[in-house]
Structures are given as C-alpha cells and as structure tokens.
C-alpha cells in the first residue's frame, strides 16, 4: 500500500512536533511543511529533510497531500481547514476547533459531503492514563480538574478557556454522558487582554457536579483530574500518565482502612498516538475517536463559560450529552 502523504500547516512550537512525529510513523510520508514565516518553514523543513512552503496554494498544488495537520492560530483554523477540505484533503485541526460554533458546523457539513476524515486535536484523549480511565469510570458524582502552569508568551491569541480549559471540558463530556444544565464561571486577566485564570462549576442533568480551574500564571505546574464515585476515588496525573484508585474497606477490628491501587499500563507519547490514529482513520475510512462533533460540543461549553466571564451573564447549556 502506498504511504499516506501528509503535511503540516503551521510549524510553530506544536506544529514542529506534528511534523517530527509524522516522519516517525510507519506508512506515512511527510511531503511538506507550511508557515507564513518563510524562515521558520525553511528551518523546520531543512531540519526534517522535507520541502517547505510559505504559500498554502503552492503547497497544495505541488505536494498534493492526502491529509494535513492544521496547527495555525485559532482565528485561522476555519479558513485553512475549509481550503483543505474543499480540495478533498483529510484534516486534523488543533483545538479549539474554530472560534465559533457556526464555523465548526460548516466544516462538519463540508467533511461529510466529501466523505473526509475531520479530527480535532484534543490530545489528552490519547494520554495513556486517560484512555485507561475512560474504560473504568462508571458513575462519577463529582469531578475536580486543575490545569496550572507559569506564564508563557507562546499563546497570545486566546485566553485560558480556549487554550487550556477546553481539554478538561472535552474529557468531562466524554466521561459524563448527560446534558449540562448549569454553568457558573469567573476569570481574570493578569498579563494579557484575555483571561489568564478561570474557574467553572458545571452541573449535569444526572446530578453530577464538576469544577475546573485553569491558570497560566501559576508558579506551580499541575495537570490533575480527580473523580469521586460512590465507592471509589480516582485521580489522574496527566504529566506522569499515572492513575490512583482509592477505596475505604471496613475491616473487622480495624475500622476503615484505605486501600490505594496504582494500575500498570503502557505509557506512550500522546501526540504520536493521536497522529497514528488520524492516519489510520484516513487509511481505513473510519471516523476518529475525537471528531468534529466532540470539538463542537467542547467549544459550545467554552463559549458559554467565556460569556459568563466577560459579560457576567448567566450561562445555561442544553444538548451537550455524548451520542
């Protein structure tokens, strides 16, 4: 079978890693990288030994990719993805999928019309610990997520809700199969014109409650999710890809005894798993684990949270249950 020809549009910090991983995947040929910054495109392309472009049309016409990763600034996601889909090219679009729900719906229609794979880059779904957790979580009562880190100038076009919190929104929507009935959120700008710290409380129709805290101005780095179930308490460390399961057992003569399990499972690079999945979906013509509907649902929730933060209006969201 001929290798899948792939390209990367936007080779900043994350796009560079997309390009690197594609060169490591079996059955995949990286046919070019694109960036408006010609020096950046040349640096990455020459480093990986592949053609580089600063003009998108020239890349499409010359490299003729079967599939592309779109890793440009969020405001350009829709336009670049649309151009690729219109040319019959499969697309992996980094999160957040677009800046508006209408744009996401338009991409969905276009991909469906042309029978193309359209995957959204919610990379945490491919974290080995998350994949393990998704198979064992049964009846969550409460979820608490903390995603904190120090300030960086790398992301400046969006705030922490679309940059960081959207990861946690997506994961919670995948674990709690119920509609969201209420959201309370607040945030604050510290170093940028966008929210740098944000907190959201979410209530689901089945009674499940969730709290998400994100910050890009914290001196402590933390990536953690805690899940309370009727008879278990589960924690996940995204960075270490580790899961802990806590139970309290009533032992005769000793009272309650806490037992902690540390499941063992293979740990792999999430980005490599994500891109391998994307290429496999292209080869086999199947829908991805994280499709455009997942990206759209997460974006809807994120927009509701942003509306509360910036306009101080109550936000209620319906219809966010998983299919």
- CATH number, residue 101: 3.40.50.720
Three-class DSSP labels, the chain: CCCEEEEEECCCHHHHHHHHHHHHCCCEEEEEEECCCHHHHHHHHHHHCCCEECCHHHHHHHHCCCEEEECCCHHHHHHHHHHHHHCCCEEEEECCCCCCHHHHHHHHHHHHHCCCCEEEECHHHHCHHHHHHHHHCCCCCEEEEEEECCCCCCCCCCCHHHHHHHHHHHHHHHHCCCCEEEEEEEEECCCCCCCCEEEEEEEECCCCEEEEEEECCCCCCEEEEEEECCCCEEEEECCCCEEEEEEEEEECCCEEEEEEECCCCCCCCHHHHHHHHHHHHHHHCCCCCCEHHHHHHHHHHHHHHHHHHHHCCCECCCCCCCC
Question: What is the extent of the structural domain holding 257?
Answer: 125-266+300-311
Is this structure's pTM higher than 0.75?
yes
Per the structure, the count of domains in the chain is 2
**Do residue 182 and residue 305 come from a single domain?**
yes
> What CATH number should be reported for the domain holding residue 145?
3.30.360.10
Contact 59, 53 (CB under 8 A): yes
**Do residue 281 and residue 246 come from a single domain?**
no
316 in a structural domain:
no
**Do residue 8 and residue 20 come from a single domain?**
yes
241 in a structural domain:
yes
State both tokens at 56: 């998108």
**Do residue 140 and residue 49 come from a single domain?**
no
**Do residue 217 and residue 307 come from a single domain?**
yes
**Do residue 157 and residue 305 come from a single domain?**
yes
pLDDT in the model for residue 250: 79
321 in a structural domain:
no
323 in a structural domain:
no
250 in a structural domain:
yes
15 in a structural domain:
yes
Cβ-based burial of 61 (10 A; exposed 0-12, middle 13-18, buried ≥19)? exposed
**Do residue 162 and residue 147 come from a single domain?**
yes
Kindly report, residue by residue over 125-155, the tens digit of the pLDDT: 999 999 999 999 999 999 999 999 998 877 6
317 in a structural domain:
no
pLDDT in the model for residue 323: 38
Q: In the β-sheet with 90-94, what is the strand arrangement from edge to edge?
A: 52-53, 28-34, 4-9, 67-70, 90-94, 118-121
CA geometry: angle 219, 149, 234, nearest 5 deg: 110
**Do residue 85 and residue 116 come from a single domain?**
yes
pLDDT in the model for residue 258: 87
Residues of the chain predicted below pLDDT 50:
313-314, 319, 321-323
- Terminal Cα distance for the chain, rounded: 34
**Do residue 221 and residue 285 come from a single domain?**
no
CA geometry: angle 200, 202, 203, nearest 5 deg: 160
**Do residue 197 and residue 227 come from a single domain?**
yes
**Do residue 85 and residue 206 come from a single domain?**
no
**Do residue 176 and residue 146 come from a single domain?**
yes
37 in a structural domain:
yes
């Amino acid at each position: 079978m001929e290798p899948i020809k792939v390209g990367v549009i936007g080779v900043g910090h994350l796009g560079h890693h997309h390009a690197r991983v594609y060169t490591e995947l079996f059955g995949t040929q990286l046919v070019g990288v694109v960036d408006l910054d010609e020096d950046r495109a040349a640096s990455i392309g020459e480093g990986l030994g592949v053609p580089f472009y600063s003009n998108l049309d020239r890349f499409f016409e010359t490299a003729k990719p079967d599939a592309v990763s779109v890793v440009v600034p969020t405001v350009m996601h829709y336009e670049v993805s649309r151009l690729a889909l219109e040319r019959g090219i499969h697309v992996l679009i980094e999160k957040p999928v677009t800046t508006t729900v209408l744009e996401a719906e338009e991409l969905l229609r276009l991909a469906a019309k042309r029978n193309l794979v359209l995957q959204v880059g919610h990379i945490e779904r491919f974290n080995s610990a998350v994949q393990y957790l998704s198979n064992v979580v049964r009846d969550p009562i409460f979820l608490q997520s903390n995603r904190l880190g120090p300030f960086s100038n790398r992301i400046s076009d969006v705030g922490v809700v679309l940059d960081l919190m959207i990861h946690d929104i997506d994961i919670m929507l995948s674990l709690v199969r119920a509609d969201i009935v209420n959201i309370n959120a607040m945030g604050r700008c510290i170093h940028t014109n966008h929210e740098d710290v944000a907190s959201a409380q979410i209530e689901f129709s089945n009674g499940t409650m969730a709290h998400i805290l994100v910050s890009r101005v914290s001196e402590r780095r933390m990536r953690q999710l805690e899940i309370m179930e009727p008879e278990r308490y589960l924690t996940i460390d995204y960075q270490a890809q580790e899961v802990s399961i806590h139970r309290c057992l009533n032992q005769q003569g000793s009272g309650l005894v806490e037992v902690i399990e540390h499941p063992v499972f293979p740990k792999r690079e999430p980005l490599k798993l994500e891109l391998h999945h994307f290429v496999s979906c292209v080869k086999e013509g199947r829908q991805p684990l994280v499709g455009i509907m997942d990206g759209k649902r997460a974006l809807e929730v994120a927009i509701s949270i942003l509306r509360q933060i910036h306009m101080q209006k109550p936000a209620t969201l319906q219809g966010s249950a998983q299919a």
